Homo-oligomer: A and B are copies of this chain.
Amino acid sequence: MTVARAVESLLPDLQILYYGDLARTPYGSKSPETIIDYSITNTEFLLNHGAQAIIIACNSAASVASEILRQKFEVPIFEVISPAVDRAITATHSGNIGIIGTRATVRSEIYEQKIMQKAPELRVFSKACPLLVPLVEEGWIDARETKMILRKYLSPLKQKQIDTLVLGCTHYPLLKNLIQHRMGKKKISLIDSSIEVALTLQRYLNKNPDFNKNLQYGSVSKYFVSDITKAATNTAEKIFGRPIGLIKV
């Protein structure tokens, strides 16, 4: 949803077809095989509903399923990792980049690999933060307990004197202020993968006018979910700043 919101901000007339697999989330603690399996069916669902391009708006799915989805499907497939990697490489001065994400994302070492391919001189330090998603979903965005847990997760990265931190999970932008505060007085660059992928999509559309002109502009965006709960409805409203009509499928 943070990705959908970022795309909407940059391209307000573009029709978004969103699918949130709430009946099976969270993905970050599941095995790569299961995440790949779900990512394929989710992509098929969106293509069947008319999607002309796909954004894998989940770092856990992007980290293990991007290549397979690109092999399997013809449409352009964007994902939240590469844009964040590019931004992190540009942003760092010290050369020390931190990555936080779910267990699946961190274990995949996808950020390290992608950064090393492009800038082997940089140093990458990553830390799995599996409790942050449930804390965000619980709405404890400013709770003392969340601050403590963040301190525990972030202190090894702080010791490595990173100056750039990739928020490698689309839930984490909601904790941006706390994370910035927790990383200490020295300002560090927080890379928000939701914003970066939206910017990448925008650049792609500008560079590919033929593709762009065939997209659906002006049609109402649709927010499909595989399960509806009060918490999901609240989170959607918090992220978009307005009520979002979720469609259960």
Contacts and interface: CB of A to CB of B under 8 A. Distances in A.
A29 B25 CA distance: 10
A144 interface: yes
B137 A148 contact: no
A249 to B, nearest CB: 12
Contacts of A229: 29-31
Contacts of A228: 31
Interface in A221-235: 226-229, 231
A231 B20 CA distance: 25
Most B-side CB within 10 Å, residue of A31, A33, A103, A137:
A31
Given A24-B23, A24-B24, A30-B23, A231 B103 contact: yes
Interface string A55-84: 000000000000000000000000000000
Interface in A139-185: 140, 144-145, 148-149, 152
Given A130-B134, A131-B134, A131-B135, A30 B149 contact: no
14 contacts: A22-B30, A29-B137, A31-B229, A34-B226, A34-B227, A103-B231, A130-B137, A130-B138, A131-B135, A131-B138, A131-B140, A134-B134, A145-B145, A148-B148
Nearest to A38: B23
Contacts of A29: 137, 229, 231
Contacts of A148: 144-145, 148
A174 B243 CA distance: 39
A144 B149 CA distance: 9
A145 B152 contact: yes
Q: How many copies does the complex hold?
A: 2
Interface of A: 22-24, 29-31, 33-34, 103, 130-131, 133-135, 137-138, 140, 144-145, 148-149, 152, 226-229, 231
Most B-side CB within 10 Å, residue of A130, A134, A148:
A134
Given A144-B148, A148-B144, A149-B145, A227 B134 contact: no
A134 B146 CA distance: 13
Contacts of A145: 145, 148-149, 152
Contacts of A226: 34
Contacts of A149: 145
A51 to B, nearest CB: 24
